[in-house]
């Protein structure tokens, strides 16, 4: 008897569990048993699975899963070695799959996780192992190739835009001039920072300046941009990874460490800006780091995002059930706004990074274009009825 | 013809506009014109008023006002001089009141604002000026005397507890040991940090340690407390104003400045803890500052708080209409849970600070008691249907 396995990988989001739900629904619809590997590919290596059928035949548990941020199965940041250099690891993984009768494996994750899908698919093909490995994308960073947008991005964008609008209400109460810098996640791609533009409405102009990692900007240019602002209470949205005209990270003055993929762990560019802009202007200064709240804010998600995240998970499961392999699901937009699900070859997606394109960034490099707003707005739409318990969101926990 | 005036003062909250709405409703019910002073008492000094009747006869505008965080009329941090030392200021204020036919003035604010209510009331009494000055409390800090709790606290507490629960989901995804420190507002009173305890539920144990300014705690004790934690992913909630066993602020290593009332502007104790606990344990460390989001988070407020905030505003207006003066409205709790509105003499309230009492703090000083949870829980209850526009909260702006 064949079985599904599913695992989650990379950073948590508010929608990755909606995708897990979709995968489970696909398996249930297919009448197949489904096992969850605990802590991503590590759970496979350790032969650490949990049976998901019983728990999620319950409708209340399914509803809770869709609304619980984080990663129900746990996550990992393990990067698989090349199959040539460490065959033991691969033999172990496929031995565990075989032992558990698993012939369909759905891996939900971001850039690095799709590399795992790619490597497992290649190994299976080269060794004639009959297992369908399919990737389901997720990342708040929206930087995956082969998809119009990524599951998880819409909810994070909604939280960012709403928070920026609320911080603008907060900073606007005093008559004195002020500058507030809001630091938003985004190492090399500024999608989430760009989404702060959705805070704007007829009567609310913040954020007044938006700086993305795609456009290096000098201190002098930022100062000039602020001098051109007419507002009393200026709100600036910046990506954590913004760089100066020499390509140096603004956060370089803060402590830097690296994660196991060699990505610089950035923090603190807002503090650096707060300091030099305070020295320059003498206004009241504040910096706000949205920190992990922007990716785990399950209390104000986008219904569009949660629904699409669920759909793409189910599509991944059904594709695997049909024997598809070595693919990653993606979104394709039609008109404005229909979201279709497509299949990509994993080798076209893995290890690629999709940055904010030129047509979405203003000529002056300190804002987004109307085209970006048109692109992004549908992704944050739709109110979710949060399930609460004693006044706080109710979660389902493994 | 006599008129109402109303103004808002001190830091913004998610509920101060609900209180403003209540004041307007009281005036409308009383058939009296109501003027809003822009930027607190500064608006009175500058004779800068706006007519509120026309705008808020519209039901949609009233609904938006109740759900808009910040301070619709703008705020200020002006502390009035003693009447003996600067009679010009007082003469100016009462001249402006007289010029505009204002004989009822409602001031919505915190500790320092109630000092203004006190001073204006005394001056009016001493100079036989027929004007009813009434205070309506607000502060996320919950540290005002003469009231069971303060308007604005419940919504901030709900945001804090929900955020702590979500950060726990975020930190819980990895198998590696970790410590996450969440820094919460509270200079001298730990009410808001204590409210993080409401994040707990049957299946979610975070926060695992809670440190309040009321209980100085040494580095050694914090380390010992962590060693006693059995959790893999430890969540610690700390007030910005926590001190060590010598009474020194933990944030003392960060830059300190003072606001105009001489309060130390604190920031960074979480960063200090992150550093020394990281050195001690070598776990993955993260610190999260909830920053202004906790006071301006209008997208996840407590309906109980918004409704009570509106009621207390209306009561303040109606008390002034009856000629009451020199009072500050407060809440009195009956049973569990009925909230009644009471009147306090302003001299019993102004410049006092209500700290978290002993019976709400655990004997070990690293948690709250069940009595606190029983006290706090009703204040965060009730879901508000957020009014959104293009996916983000819709606000009304002056």
pLDDT tens, position by position, A62-101: 999 999 999 999 999 888 999 888 899 999 999 999 999 9
Both A275 and A180 in a single domain? Answer: yes
Pairwise CA distance, residues A188 & B204, whole Å: 34
CA count, 13 A, side-chain hemisphere, B229: 24
DSSP A49-92: EEE-HHHHTSHHHHHHHHH--B-TT----PPPPPTTT-HHHHHH
Q: Looking at the complex, does the CB of residue B380 fall below 8 Å from at least one CB of chain A?
A: yes
Is A201 touching B (CB cutoff 8 A)? yes
Burial label for A60, CB within 10 Å (0-12, 13-18, 19+), is exposed
Do residues A187 and A267 both lie within one domain?
yes
Evaluate whether residue A358 is within a structural domain. no
Per-residue pLDDT, averaged over B295-300, amounts to 95
- Last residue of a domain, which of B275, B295, B315? B295
Structural domain includes residue B356: no
Residues B140 and B179 in one domain: no
Same-domain pairing of A215 and A186: yes
How close A322 gets to chain B, by Cα (Å)? Answer: 31
In this prediction, the residues of chain A whose per-residue pLDDT falls under 50 are 255-260, 264-266
How far apart CA A74 and CA A112 sit, in angstroms, is: 16
Residues A91 and A48 in one domain: yes
CA distance B246 to A388: 41
Average pLDDT, stretch B247-253?
85
| Mean of pLDDT over chain B | 94
pLDDT value at residue B112:
86
CA distance B381 to chain A (A): 5
A105 occurs within a structural domain: yes
- Of chain A, the end-to-end C-alpha distance in Å amounts to 26
Domain contains A361? no
3-state secondary structure of B181: strand
Cβ-Cβ contacts under 8 Å between A and B: the total is 183
- How far apart, in whole angstroms, are the C-alpha atoms of residue B180 and residue B298? 25
In a domain, A366, yes or no: no
Which is nearest to B56 in space by CA: B71, B36, B41, B70?
Answer: B36
CATH number, domain at A276? Answer: 3.40.50.460
Catalytic residue among B103, B141, B225, B305: B141
The pLDDT tens digits of the residues spanning B273-282 come to 998 999 999 9
Helix axes A303-321, A16-29, angle to 10 degrees: 40
Specify the pairing of strand B33-37 against strand B257-258. Answer: unpaired
Local structure of residue A110 (DSSP, 8 states): S
State the smallest CA–CA distance between residue B279 and chain A in angstroms: 14
Quote the pLDDT of residue B111: 85
Can you give the pTM of this predicted structure?
A: 0.96
Predicted confidence (pLDDT) at residue B260 exceeds the cutoff of 80:
no
Number of domains into which chain B is organized: 2
Please work out, in degrees rounded to the nearest 5, the angle formed at the alpha carbon of residue A181 by the alpha carbons of A175 and A182. 120
Q: Tell which of B252, B276, B295 closes a domain.
A: B295
A32 with A146, same domain: the answer is: yes
pLDDT bucket at B1, cuts 50 / 70 / 90: low
Q: Give yes or no: residues A129 and A146 share one domain.
A: yes
**CATH number for position B314:** 3.40.50.450
Using the 3D structure, point to which of B268, B295, B322 is the last residue of a domain: B295
Can you give the residue range of the structural domain that contains A277? 153-296
Contact A377 B391 (CB under 8 A): yes
Same domain, A289 and A326: no
> Which residue in the set B162, B173, B389 is minimally distant from A12, CB to CB?
B173
- Same-domain check for residues B280 and B168: yes
Is some CB atom of chain B closer than 8 A to the CB atom of A76? yes
How many residues appear in chain B?
398
Name all contacts of B369-373 with Cβ < 8 Å and 24+ positions apart.
B372/B194, B372/B197, B373/B197, B373/B198
Same domain assignment for residues B212 and B91: no
Whether the CB of A219 is below 8 Å from some CB of chain B: the reply is: no
Q: What are phi and psi of B19, to 5 degrees?
A: -70, -40
Pick A199's closest partner by Cβ from B288, B292, B392. Answer: B392
Mutate to test the interface with B, among A170, A271, A305 (most CBs of B within 10 A): A170
Residue B373 in any domain: the answer is no
Residue A367 lies in a domain: no
Q: Are residues A7 and A137 in the same domain?
A: yes
CA distance B13 to chain A (A): 8
Q: Which residues contact A159 (CB under 8 A, 6 or more apart)?
A: A14, A290, A293, A294, A297, A300, A301
- Catalogue the active-site residues of A: 141
B82 and B54, same structural domain? Answer: yes
- In sequence order, the β-bridge partners of residue B4 are B34, B104
Chain B residues near residue A167 by CB distance under 8 angstroms: 292-293, 296
Q: Please report how many Cα atoms fall inside a 13 Å half-sphere around the Cα of residue A264, on the Cβ side.
A: 18
Asked if the structure places residue A371 within a domain, the reply is no
Q: State the pLDDT confidence band at B336, using cuts at 50, 70 and 90.
A: confident
Quickly tell me which residue has 């409405």 as its tokens.
A201
Q: Where are the alpha helices (DSSP H) in chain A?
A: 16-29, 41-45, 53-56, 59-67, 87-99, 111-126, 153-171, 191-194, 219-227, 269-281, 293-296, 303-321, 370-376
B260 in contact with chain A, both atoms CB, cutoff 8 A? no
Q: Residue B28 and residue A152: Cα distance in Å, rounded?
A: 46
Q: Which of residues 145-164 of A touch B (CB under 8 A)?
A: 158, 161-163
Residue recorded with tokens 């009147």: B343
What's the pLDDT score for residue A168?
A: 98
């Amino acid at each position: 008897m064949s079985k599904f396995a599913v695992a989650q990988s990379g950073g948590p989001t508010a929608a990755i569990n909606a995708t897990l739900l979709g995968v489970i629904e696909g398996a249930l619809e297919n009448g197949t048993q489904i096992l969850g590997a605990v802590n991503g590919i590590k759970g496979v290596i350790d032969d650490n699975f949990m049976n998901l059928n019983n728990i999620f035949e319950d409708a209340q548990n399914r509803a809770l899963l869709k609304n619980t941020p984080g990663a129900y199965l746990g996550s990992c940041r393990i990067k698989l070695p090349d199959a040539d250099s460490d065959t033991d690891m691969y033999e172990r993984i496929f031995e565990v799959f075989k032992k558990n009768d698993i012939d369909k494996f759905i891996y939900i994750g971001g850039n690095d996780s799709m590399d795992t899908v790619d490597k497992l698919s290649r190994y299976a093909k080269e060794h004639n192992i009959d297992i369908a490995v399919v990737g389901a994308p997720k990342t708040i960073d929206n930087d995956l190739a082969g998809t119009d947008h990524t599951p998880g991005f819409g909810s994070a964008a909604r939280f960012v835009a709403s928070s920026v609008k609320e911080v603008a209400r907060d900073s606007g109460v005093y008559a004195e001039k002020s500058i507030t810098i809001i630091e938003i996640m985004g190492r090399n791609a500024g999608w989430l920072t760009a989404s702060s533009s959705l805070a704007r409405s007829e009567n609310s102009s913040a954020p007044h300046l938006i700086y993305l990692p795609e456009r290096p900007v000098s201190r002098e240019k930022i100062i000039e941009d602020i001098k051109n602002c007419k507002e009393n209470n200026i709100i600036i949205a910046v990506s954590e990874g913004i760089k100066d005209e020499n390509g140096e990270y603004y956060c370089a003055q803060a402590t830097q460490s690296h994660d196991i993929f060699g990505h610089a762990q950035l923090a603190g560019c807002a503090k650096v800006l707060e300091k030099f802009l305070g020295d320059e202007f003498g206004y009241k200064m504040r910096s706000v780091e949205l920190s992990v709240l922007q990716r785990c804010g399950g209390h104000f998600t986008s219904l569009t995002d949660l629904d699409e995240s669920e759909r793409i998970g189910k599509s991944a499961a059904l594709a695997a059930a049909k024997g598809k392999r070595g693919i990653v699901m993606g979104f394709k937009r039609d008109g404005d706004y229909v979201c279709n699900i497509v299949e990509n070859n994993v080798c076209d997606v893995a290890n690629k990074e999709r940055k904010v394109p030129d047509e979405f960034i203003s000529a002056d490099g300190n804002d987004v274009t109307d085209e970006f707003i048109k692109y992004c707005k549908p992704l944050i739409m739709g109110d979710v009825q949060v399930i609460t318990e004693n006044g706080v969101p109710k979660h389902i926990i493994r």
